[in-house]
Structure 1
Amino acid sequence: MSEKFSPALRLADLNDFIAPSQACIIPFKGKKASSREEGQQKLLSQKSQSQSEPVKITLHDCLACSGCITSAETVMLQQQSLEEFLSHLESKKKSVIVSVSPQSRASLANHFQLSPLQVFRKLTQFLKSLGVKAVFDTSCSRDLSLIECCHEFIERYKHQNAVDGGVLPVLSSACPGWICYAEKTLGSYILPYISTVKSPQQAMGTIIKNHVCWKMGLKPDEVYHVAVMPCYDKKLEAARDDFMFSVERQGETGQEAAGPRVSEVDSVLTSGEVLDLIQLKAVDFKSLEEGPLDRLLTNVDDEGHLYGVPGGSGGYSETVFRYAAKVLFGKVIEGPIGFKTIRNSDFQEAILEVEGMTVLKFALCYGFRNLQNIVRKIKMGKCEYHFVEVMACPSGCLNGGGQIKPNKGQSAKEVIQLLEHLYTKDVMVADPFENPLVINLYKEWLEHAGSGKARQFVHTQYHSVAKSLTAQLSNW
């Protein structure tokens, strides 16, 4: 499985990616290996020694690396598989709703030589033929996350010099590989810098399980929500306890009582797994009829153009930079911001000067080699940036490990360039604050950016996680 999980942190290029974790390789409870060889032998003989109770490693224990759950056969991502998805469709016990990321649409578009809009319509038709109730576009939830991120940045910037003021730089939180790394490796000192805004995946999850369920007359535990994403680490994100909540039920006394706990996102399928599903069903996808899009949570106008923002990883730096320049300094930026490459193509920065003084300094930081430089500067108190868009994968989300592999004759570099083009094809660049779907979400549900309800549903918190398993292996 190692080649199929978390390629952002794979062993293939140790000069950029972090080393694999050894934290989860403990074959038996209550038994401590006296040496690395003994431990590995026990791990290999685990299947045959049924009298010993194996340790069960869950997604919550993962460091988003290639050292343990990616290679051990005893650990299966059963709740994050095609089989589980198909079983829910067959059982018909729950309404299945699918949300699709724009990066996955671009990947499928490249594979089938179609436009992303054609892919979205065909995929909607295909999934509904299998029994899916609705197919939505996570560009809508991305705009909600962007608005909340803009509001959060403004608040932190304004109060940065206060005694209990905002902590800068703000580090984006949409990449689960980076978040896992921060929580389990960097310690508590880095967590206050991370944005509290949920990723578009989880924002979509909370929209569907709360607001959409209410509009559709469904209970949250009656919906099975599947997100189609470019990254295997998104499966880890969906499995976090922070993204589960209790469904209230009316008890025998008539009072509300806590009911079953449900996940905002029940399962994540990668772009490649969706291709596997299409091939499994032996569908001629290119010839498939294009179905109508579900408009309830899909950014599409009457001409079929999708609303979007620049940037294959969600456009966080560009959107927040543009908004901050306008709100804080009255500067309206027309056209592209023009991020400049610093050191390498995966590290870029943009600067806003007012009267000769730098007032905003933002960065795009992709890949762990660049990330570790930023972290080092923060730890030393020498980071000059106000906002950093952080992604674990070099080239960002379009290069996620769950994307479809290059077609024959295509190089990885060529594919990234094609995906960048396809990502914006059929997209009408628009201001997230003018998105009618998001405006309606605030009007009907969240009140306004940064409100108590917005913080309850669209924000989260991160935790420093003790590496207890690693400690047990310290003598290997």
Structure 2
Amino acid sequence: MREAPRESDVYKKKGNTPDESGFMASLFSGALVLTDLDDFISPSQACIKPVEAIKPPVFSASSSHQVAKIEIRVDDSGDYYEINSDTGSSSKLENATITLNDCLACAGCITSAETVLITQQSQADLYAILDRNKAHAGTSPSYKTIVISLSPQSRASFASKYNTSPTDTHAKLAWFFQKYLGVQYLFDTSFARHFALWESAREFVTRYRHSSSTSNARGSDAMMPMLASACPGWICYAEKTHSYILPYISTTKSPQQIMGSLVKDWLASHIEQEPSSIYHVSIMPCYDKKLEASRPDFYNDLYSTRDIDCVLTTGEVEKMFSNHGLTFESLETMPIEPSWTKSSVNPLGIPVLLGCEGTSSGGYLSYIFRYAARELFGVSLTPQDVEAGNASAGVVVKQGRNNDFWEVCLVQPQDANGRPLLKFAAAYGFRNIQNLVRKIKPSTCCSSGSTLPPARGRRSTRQTAESDHHFVEVMACPSGCINGGGQLKPDLDVLNSNLASGAGKEWVMRAESIYRSINDGVQLPEANQEVQRLYREWLGGDDTEKAWNMLHTHYHAIEKFEVNALAVKW
């Protein structure tokens, strides 16, 4: 087997330090980049977040203490020093720092977090852990068990670009990380998605029943439509600009963060290690996932560790190959992990990867629609019914004004008001998200306490949203997760110029097709025996407190603060 060189040396030699990476704000989803354009500042400009300064105690004139005279001086290197004029002593002042958590809690721009984000979550961070492991060889508390969680969208992107099957792609990536770099585990986040789909579907049915109840005591668990929660770009946008919409968003964690719970809680106890001794890396199709992993909600105060320690995009992983003088084609293969990755072995003895119905954005619309039709109305549907429509089954699919918006309705039998029993939609991209939030937005004049009548065309106060949808699968990126900003782009020397013109429709459709090619491994979450076993052994059941803590989360409205424009350095 080829020997891997020292990781940090490889990283430095190739010049891929965070400051030299040249990532631009366009790598983030449109919802983040376009948030609050009036507050936008690029990474090269100063952050507008005010920094809390610790003021020294002030003594009155009658105090027995004398007030020292303090001066601030700057030396030739640009460092700041506090000088005591009486004693001549000096002390160097610390630089104010802005962390990624600060950026998440700030109602200003989001793209200025980019340099902090790339610095904190990059190949360099992973290489540092690998070097430390080689130095200590499992004999020190500094040694970390490294776990990689691979998203199926990233796997499909590799398979599409290099014309391989998803199974071969997974086996190559497993060899690179486990055999070449020395990582202990590589799992598939499709396994965690089964938890996300199951929880989301059960949450939807609960909301639907509560919203249909005649009781006046209806809380946030009755807010409709329920909005998907798997896209961190969409969540960050909602928290920063449309806090009124937060009660509508599903509380179910994304597959990435559920995998974080699985690794840092279940796996840690299973291998008899503390969560802080595990270094968990996820490979994702977009940079927004780095923001999600850095949320304080996913930090364990007891063990001082995050559920996801580092997020690498598909493109960042590809750069790692060249850093080591490798190509994707030159990677060897190894057997796929028996659990948390494959669903079964086919009659030929070939492992079958886990798959999910629906689109590459997770299949939330398809699975929740079928689950709700069965649980609420006793109607059994197939994934094909939801995707293409089936008049005999009462399923109607309507394409919207663009390819990133469509509706699926259950119209037979109809309720007493003549409306569809279920009306679901998929809304991808910032344009469709804007249309969605406008339909849910409450009346401006009434919510502000005004007694004036609504202006012409303005909606009146209502207890429910104007949108007549029951569920919306929301994704910030056009075409969904398969077209995330961190996905692979075609080489310029690709023969088909249509594909080489950028991440065009043909390129995205190709990756989408490969993603959906995993047909044999598609399972219902309730039929996945490993998932159901973990519900019993790990969570203690479906509706336990631990199940909620491990599989659900909270959202936080971020209030704007006033910034003195004269104090901002441009």
Class of the TM-score when normalised by the shorter of the 2 chains: 0.7 to 0.9
1:315 aligns with 2:363: yes
Of 163, 180, 194, the residue aligned with 1:113 is 163
Give 2:210's aligned residue. 159
1:220 to partner: Cα distance: 0.6
Distance 1:387 1:178 in 2: 15
Name the amino acid aligned to 1:144.
Answer: F
1:388 aligns with 2:472: yes
1:402 to partner: Cα distance: 0.6
Give 1:238's aligned residue. 293
Give 1:282's aligned residue. 325
Change (3 A) 1:133 1:471: same
Partner SS, residue 345 of structure 2: coil
Of 413, 420, 428, the residue aligned with 2:505 is 413
Contact 2:105 2:558 in 1 (8 A): no
Aligned pairs for 1:333-412 (under 5 A) are: 333-334=381-382, 335-337=384-386, 338=388, 339-357=397-415, 358-380=420-442, 381-408=465-492, 409=497, 410=499, 411=501, 412=504
Partner SS, residue 285 of structure 1: coil
Distance 1:471 1:371 in 2: 28
The superposition leaves residues 103-144 of structure 1 with CA deviations (integer Å, 9 ceiling, x where unpaired) of 000111122221111110110011012010000000000110
Distance 1:463 1:366 in 2: 23
Name the amino acid aligned to 1:425.
Answer: S
Alignment RMSD (CA, Å): 2.7
Distance 1:463 1:10 in 2: 16
Name the amino acid aligned to 1:19.
Answer: L
1:55 to partner: Cα distance: 4.3
Give 1:436's aligned residue. 529
Change (3 A) 1:64 1:136: farther
Return the index of the structure with the highest Cα Rg: 2
Distance 2:491 2:517 in 1: 19
1:472 to partner: Cα distance: 4.3
1:4 to partner: Cα distance: 6.1
Between 1:276-285 and 1:230-239, the stretch displaced more is 276-285
Distance 1:386 1:459 in 2: 20
Of 157, 169, 192, the residue aligned with 2:225 is 169
Partner SS, residue 203 of structure 1: helix
Distance 1:18 1:466 in 2: 13
Distance 1:459 1:430 in 2: 22
The superposition leaves residues 301-338 of structure 1 with CA deviations (integer Å, 9 ceiling, x where unpaired) of 11322231221100011110000000000000123313
Give 2:56's aligned residue. none
Of 101, 122, 129, the residue aligned with 1:60 is 101
Give 1:261's aligned residue. 304
Contact 2:100 2:116 in 1 (8 A): no
Give 1:202's aligned residue. 257
1:59 to partner: Cα distance: 1.9
1:164 to partner: Cα distance: 3.3
Partner SS, residue 411 of structure 2: strand
Aligned pairs for 1:74-223 (under 5 A) are: 75=116, 77-92=118-133, 93-128=143-178, 129-160=180-211, 161=213, 162-165=215-218, 166-187=222-243, 189-223=244-278
Distance 2:567 2:401 in 1: 39
Contact 2:32 2:110 in 1 (8 A): no
Partner SS, residue 98 of structure 2: coil
Name the amino acid aligned to 2:406.
Answer: Q
Distance 2:110 2:232 in 1: 16
1:69 to partner: Cα distance: 6.5
Between 1:429-438 and 1:325-334, the stretch displaced more is 429-438
Aligned pairs for 1:39-50 (under 5 A) are: 49-50=78-79
Q: Which runs of 5+ in 2 are unaligned?
A: 1-22, 54-75, 81-92, 134-142, 389-396, 443-464
Contact 2:29 2:288 in 1 (8 A): no
Of 337, 343, 351, the residue aligned with 1:294 is 337
1:422 aligns with 2:469: no
Distance 1:420 1:336 in 2: 19
Count of residue pairs brought into register by the alignment: 444
1:467 aligns with 2:560: yes
Distance 1:64 1:282 in 2: 40
Change (3 A) 1:136 1:75: closer
Name the amino acid aligned to 2:482.
Answer: L
Partner SS, residue 435 of structure 2: helix
Between 1:421-430 and 1:326-335, the stretch displaced more is 421-430
1:29 to partner: Cα distance: 4.8
The superposition leaves residues 147-173 of structure 1 with CA deviations (integer Å, 9 ceiling, x where unpaired) of 000111111111113323311111111
Distance 2:538 2:508 in 1: 38
Change (3 A) 1:109 1:73: closer
1:18 to partner: Cα distance: 6.7
Distance 2:327 2:246 in 1: 47
Partner SS, residue 252 of structure 2: coil
1:57 to partner: Cα distance: 2.5
Distance 1:418 1:474 in 2: 50
- Structure 2 length normalisation: TM-score? 0.73
Give 2:551's aligned residue. 458
1:25 to partner: Cα distance: 2.6
1:447 to partner: Cα distance: 3.0
1:22 to partner: Cα distance: 3.1
Contact 1:232 1:402 in 2 (8 A): yes
Partner SS, residue 404 of structure 2: strand
Give 1:26's aligned residue. 48
1:471 to partner: Cα distance: 3.8
- Structure 1 length normalisation: TM-score? 0.86
Change (3 A) 1:89 1:326: same
Distance 2:548 2:277 in 1: 25
Partner SS, residue 62 of structure 1: helix
Change (3 A) 1:204 1:72: closer
Contact 1:27 1:54 in 2 (8 A): no
Between 1:336-345 and 1:209-218, the stretch displaced more is 336-345
The superposition leaves residues 260-303 of structure 1 with CA deviations (integer Å, 9 ceiling, x where unpaired) of 32100000000000101111112232243221111231133113
Distance 1:87 1:265 in 2: 16
Between 1:318-327 and 1:371-380, the stretch displaced more is 371-380
Partner SS, residue 136 of structure 1: strand
Between 1:453-462 and 1:295-304, the stretch displaced more is 295-304
1:427 to partner: Cα distance: 3.5
1:452 to partner: Cα distance: 2.1
Change (3 A) 1:354 1:447: farther
Name the amino acid aligned to 2:304.
Answer: R
Give 2:72's aligned residue. none
Change (3 A) 1:296 1:342: same
Distance 1:282 1:450 in 2: 50
1:79 to partner: Cα distance: 2.4
Distance 1:63 1:9 in 2: 14
Contact 2:482 2:511 in 1 (8 A): yes
The superposition leaves residues 338-382 of structure 1 with CA deviations (integer Å, 9 ceiling, x where unpaired) of 343111111111001233331100010111111111111111431
